[in-house]
Amino acid sequence: MNDTTLIATSPTGVPPGGPVDRSAADRSAAWRRRGSSWLVKGNLIIVFAVIVVVASLLSPDFLTVRNIANLLQQSSLTGIIAIGMTLVILTSGIDLSVGSTAALSGMVVAIALDGHVPIFAAVLLSLVVGVAIGLVLGTISATLRLPAFIVTLAGLTAVRGIAYLTTDGRPVGQNLPEAFTVIGGGYLGVVPLTGLIFIGVAVITAAVLKFTTFGEYIYAVGSNEEAARLSGVPVRLVQIAVFGFSGLTAALAGILLTSRLTIAQPTGFQGAELDAIAAVVLGGASLFGGRGGVGGTFIAVLLLSVLKNLFNLLGIGSFFQMVATGVILVLALILNKFIDARARHV
Amino acid sequence: MTSTDDVTPVLEMRDIRKSFPGTLALAGANLRVLPGEVHCVLGENGAGKSTLMKVLSGSYQPDGGEILIDGTVVQIGSPQQGMAAGIAVIYQELDLFPDLTVAQNIFLGHSPSRLGMVLRRSRRAEAVQYLARVGATFSPDAVVRDLPIADQQLTAIARALTTHARIIVMDEPTATLGEADVDAVCAVIRSLAAEGRAVIYISHRLAEVEAVGDRITVLRDGSTVARHVVAESTPEQWITDMIGDKRKELTEVHSGAAVTGDAHLEIRHVRIPGLIDVEDITVRKGEIVGIAGLGGAGRTTLLSAVFGARPSQHSIFIGGAPYRARSTLAAVRAGFGLVPESRKAEGLMLGLSVWRNAGISSIGRAPWLMPHARGRALSEPVIERLGVKFARGTQAVGELSGGNQQKIVLAKWLTRGSTILLLDEPTRGLDIGAKADLYRQVRLLAEQGAAVLVASSELGELVANTDRIVVLHEGRKIGEFDPRLHSEDTITHAIISGKTS
């Protein structure tokens, strides 16, 4: 029942549309809005900068080339996983299976190399395994309309089990070729190769999000799935694809860890999914989808490792580190929410 | 009207007025309900029935008028106060908790308890009693989700009884029930009245009103226009009162010449078992065809089935070629564009910008790159032509006014170049100016060769703006009218009665 009065309409003249002329007051409001939105986007960078300054003041070792290189090295693997996670979260999904997928892919590449498979083929095989896991989980979740949380939680357990089963729980890859181990452990000048790969993955993904129809569809699905469907967006395909991509980035991280450690362990990447999710959310993405981006995730990943690095330099124990990281994460989110709410009310 | 003035009415609503931005929903509605009677409230879509009931329940605060219970003026400031005053409302969409048991639902919020612990055994025992009183045969331990709709209906009625409600409002309780279940619910309604309670009954089915009702109040355009005693009047009289004298109103009729030519969209049949079985609707290029019907007649279901948003058995032709409504994507590719009933929930991505919303359906083409620039380039002229008012194209579409939001939904399809537009309640929530503007744009589109189907619950709009009007009744097409030839009352008669006499 729609209880509005019956009204007969009559055509009336309508002034032309388009952006309305703004008065001075409107313009200043617009400036204020723009200022706030810059603050929203920029607040993470500000926090990051503050922490870097504090870190360099507290510890003279912080701003050394060696330390920075180390930092990039350490953050790159979680970072790569977080980039894939960003796309999933943008569609309002979540992927809890990434840590297990990374571990399995790391095992697969080592086993293949031990079997004298060429490096290129071994890496490709491992990536295919990662993508396949993502596509399977994504397909189950999207076509059967099951919550991604549960489907990928099942994936987390099952895939980890497969990782153990490949070698019955033993580490593998004692004789990895040096041409392979250099990928994860090598440097270009002073810059670690994994750091460059992380930056490369971030840039490519950001470009996909901004400059392709697929990227736009990701935002559309996350913003309003039903409206997207009724606009002719292939919603399920998009949902499946982001899980495939998440599997791909997880596999890449797994290969790099095996390469860096020159050995593969089925126990690797325990809890990596939570680190990735934390970084994505800290980076400003909404868990309800449709809002966020790769840039925010990138900064957030660096921020979290700078914090960890700072604690290490200060000699703070790892138990305390865990508590402090949690507290800082919550504080950052509160700050984000606060600025966001203010921006909306301008 | 009979002399019932010597009995104190259990409920009296005097001169209730209520307006919303852009509409006057109630313009002096009166209602007098006696104890022990089934009082039916009749009226067209938008006559103000639901608004009046929401005022009674305390959901809405009236702008004027007074409510008397047992002859004393009362203030009903909230649904809680309404309940305390002995008023229970059973809505069409039952507000039960599907995962709880029948007993839990019946006593939710007022379970028999001691020291904060629910006394399960006595709750169950009492639930059994209440269920027996409504003639229910199912267990109080059944989970509501597993019950058929009719039994859920009885659960809701039993719940109303536990609050010792003396005035029970039922808003279209039988809309979703089959014949046999309707009889069961009607029997319960009669027994409630026999206990001395007053039942206010809202239904579009006049046969039921005849079977179950004692007296009738007819609302039209927000005012009470007639009262009848069921036994002393006929459905024809009620319909006449519901329609009123439409000839006196200055309803404009689209004055253009009738559109001729071959059918562009040809719907031979669309069937969803239990919901709709619509046959034979055609739309020519340049033609706007209206779909009229009561709430629940199947207008929205028909449009979403044609658009491929819900599965159906169908035989549809576009320009003579068969079309399968497999998915929304297939529909969009075939040239369809749907402006859905709820623009916020289904039409727009509120957090995204004006340009991104307008361009979303047009960027799915090779080379699949630069969606923002392409979407903007394609949609900007369309948005300007539609006269959308906005500050910046990068502004979130949720910040625009309702009329401008609706134009963005329309712009989405014009940007795509859709040739068959399906509009579902396109003017809901818009003010008069925005409504007129929207229809003016739709007419322009039709003149440029689009085939347009508009579903609306406001017949005046369809009469004023369409070339033909198809009337749906309980999921079937019952007739077709030309607003130039048929009066609005003839069409309204068909909408209400389901007959085209």
Residue with tokens 């309404």: B82
Collapsing DSSP states into helix, strand and coil, what is residue B58?
A: coil
The beta-carbon contacts of A168-171 under 8 Å, at least 24 apart in sequence, are A169/A266, A171/A263, A171/A264, A171/A265, A171/A266
The reply to whether B391 touches chain A by the CB within 8 Å rule is: yes
**Element holding B68 (H helix, E strand):** strand B64-69
Span of B147-156, B265-274, B286-295 with lowest mean pLDDT: B147-156
The reply to whether A28 touches chain B by the CB within 8 Å rule is: no
The closest of B362, B347, B480, B353 to B426, measured between CA atoms, is B347
The closest of B384, B46, B50, B422 to B243, measured between CA atoms, is B46
Contact flag B352-A227 (C-beta cutoff 8 Å)? no
pLDDT band at B65 (very low <50, low <70, confident <90, very high): very high
Residues of B in contact with A207 (CB under 8 A): none
Contact flag B363-A213 (C-beta cutoff 8 Å)? yes
Averaged confidence pLDDT in chain B: 87
φ, ψ for residue A74 (rounded to 5)? -70, -40
Contact flag B460-A6 (C-beta cutoff 8 Å)? yes
Asked if B421 and B445 touch (Cβ cutoff 8 Å), the reply is yes
CA A259/CA A110 separation, integer angstroms: 9
Amino acid at B298: G
Collapsing DSSP states into helix, strand and coil, what is residue B51?
A: helix
The reply to whether B250 touches chain A by the CB within 8 Å rule is: yes
**B74-114 pLDDT tens trace:** 999 888 888 888 898 887 666 788 899 999 998 887 788 88
Amino acid at B402: G
> What residue in B sits closest to A220 (Cα-Cα)?
B349
pLDDT band at A135 (very low <50, low <70, confident <90, very high): very high
User: Using CB atoms and an 8 Å cut-off, which of residues 442-471 of chain B contact chain A?
Assistant: 443, 457-461, 463-465
Asked if B470 and B291 touch (Cβ cutoff 8 Å), the reply is yes
pLDDT band at B291 (very low <50, low <70, confident <90, very high): very high
Taking phi over 0 as left and psi of -120 to 50 as alpha, with beta for the rest, B62 belongs to: beta
The closest of A37, A33, A87, A64 to A216, measured between CA atoms, is A87
CA B299/CA B282 separation, integer angstroms: 15
The reply to whether A226 touches chain B by the CB within 8 Å rule is: yes
CA B221/CA B45 separation, integer angstroms: 9
pTM exceeds cut of 0.95? no
The closest of A158, A98, A129 to A280, measured between CA atoms, is A98
Question: Which of A10, A30, A232 shows the shortest C-beta gap to B328?
Answer: A232
Q: With a cut of 90, say whether residue B356 has pLDDT above it.
A: yes
Question: Which of A1, A19, A219 shows the shortest C-beta gap to B390?
Answer: A19
Is the dihedral angle over the CA atoms B374, B379, B384, B387 positive or is it negative? negative
CA A268/CA B38 separation, integer angstroms: 72
Asked if B268 and B288 touch (Cβ cutoff 8 Å), the reply is no
**A249-305 pLDDT tens trace:** 999 999 999 999 999 999 999 999 999 999 998 888 888 888 889 999 999 999 989
Residues of A in contact with B49 (CB under 8 A): 1, 3
Q: Are strands B451-455 and B420-424 parallel, antiparallel or unpaired?
A: parallel
Tell me the helix, strand and coil percentages in chain A, rounded to 5.
75, 5, 25
Distances (CA, A) of B501 to B236, B294, B495: 12, 18, 12
CB proximity list for B219: less than 8 A, separation 6 or greater: B29, B41, B42, B43, B47, B48, B49, B52, B225
Q: What is chain A's Cα-based Rg?
A: 23
pLDDT band at B424 (very low <50, low <70, confident <90, very high): very high
Contact flag A216-B458 (C-beta cutoff 8 Å)? no
CA A49/CA A70 separation, integer angstroms: 18
**B175-198 pLDDT tens trace:** 666 667 778 788 888 888 998 899
Residues of B in contact with A223 (CB under 8 A): 349-352
**A140-167 pLDDT tens trace:** 999 999 999 999 999 999 999 999 999 9
Contact flag B432-A230 (C-beta cutoff 8 Å)? no
Work out the minimum CA distance from B234 to partner chain A, whole angstroms. Answer: 24
**A23-76 pLDDT tens trace:** 555 556 555 555 555 555 667 788 888 888 988 898 888 888 888 888 898 899
Residues of A in contact with B460 (CB under 8 A): 6-9
Contact flag A10-B464 (C-beta cutoff 8 Å)? yes
Beta strands in A100-201 (DSSP E): 187-188, 191-192
Give residue B33's pLDDT: 94
pLDDT band at B460 (very low <50, low <70, confident <90, very high): confident
Work out the minimum CA distance from B390 to partner chain A, whole angstroms. Answer: 5
pLDDT band at A16 (very low <50, low <70, confident <90, very high): very low
DSSP A237: H
Q: With a cut of 70, say whether residue B212 has pLDDT above it.
A: yes
Span of B164-178, B308-322, B470-484 with lowest mean pLDDT: B164-178
The reply to whether B256 touches chain A by the CB within 8 Å rule is: no
What value does the mean pLDDT take over residues B326-343?
Answer: 93
Contact flag A17-B389 (C-beta cutoff 8 Å)? yes
Residues of B in contact with A226 (CB under 8 A): 345-346
The closest of A99, A121, A97, A100 to A109, measured between CA atoms, is A121
Work out the minimum CA distance from A68 to partner chain B, whole angstroms. Answer: 35
The reply to whether A11 touches chain B by the CB within 8 Å rule is: yes
Amino acid at B405: Q
Q: Is B154 exposed, middle or buried (0-12, 13-18, 19+ CB in 10 A)?
A: buried
The reply to whether A215 touches chain B by the CB within 8 Å rule is: yes
Q: With a cut of 70, say whether residue B251 has pLDDT above it.
A: no
Task: Answer with the residue of higher pLDDT: B36 or B205.
Answer: B36
- What's the ipTM? 0.81
Q: Are strands B64-69 and B11-20 parallel, antiparallel or unpaired?
A: antiparallel
Residues of A in contact with B440 (CB under 8 A): 11-12, 14
Q: What is chain B's Cα-based Rg?
A: 25
Q: With a cut of 70, say whether residue B360 has pLDDT above it.
A: yes
Residues of B in contact with A16 (CB under 8 A): 384, 387
Contact flag B458-A4 (C-beta cutoff 8 Å)? yes
Question: Which of A1, A229, A231 shows the shortest C-beta gap to B45?
Answer: A1
Cis amide prior to B367 (ω within 30 degrees): yes
Q: With a cut of 50, say whether residue B493 has pLDDT above it.
A: yes
What value does the mean pLDDT take over residues B459-477?
Answer: 90
Longest dimension (CA), chain B: 80
pLDDT band at B501 (very low <50, low <70, confident <90, very high): low
Residues of B in contact with A7 (CB under 8 A): 23, 432, 435, 458, 460-461
What value does the mean pLDDT take over residues B33-61?
Answer: 88
Collapsing DSSP states into helix, strand and coil, what is residue B25?
A: strand
What value does the mean pLDDT take over residues A127-144?
Answer: 97
What value does the mean pLDDT take over residues B281-291?
Answer: 94
Q: Residue B475, Cα to own-chain centre: how many angstroms?
A: 14
The reply to whether B17 touches chain A by the CB within 8 Å rule is: no
Give residue A7's pLDDT: 37
Residues of A in contact with B459 (CB under 8 A): 6
Give residue A5's pLDDT: 36
Give residue A342's pLDDT: 59
Residue with tokens 């600025």: A339
Give residue B93's pLDDT: 67
Q: How far apart are the first and last CA of chain B?
A: 28
The reply to whether B340 touches chain A by the CB within 8 Å rule is: yes
Work out the minimum CA distance from B280 to partner chain A, whole angstroms. Answer: 25
Beta strands in B173-305 (DSSP E): 198-202, 215-220, 223-229, 263-272, 276-284, 288-292
CA B41/CA B7 separation, integer angstroms: 20
Give residue A12's pLDDT: 40
CB proximity list for A230: less than 8 A, separation 6 or greater: B307, B309, B328, B338, B340, B346, B347
The closest of B82, B198, B79, B188 to B130, measured between CA atoms, is B188
pLDDT band at B336 (very low <50, low <70, confident <90, very high): very high
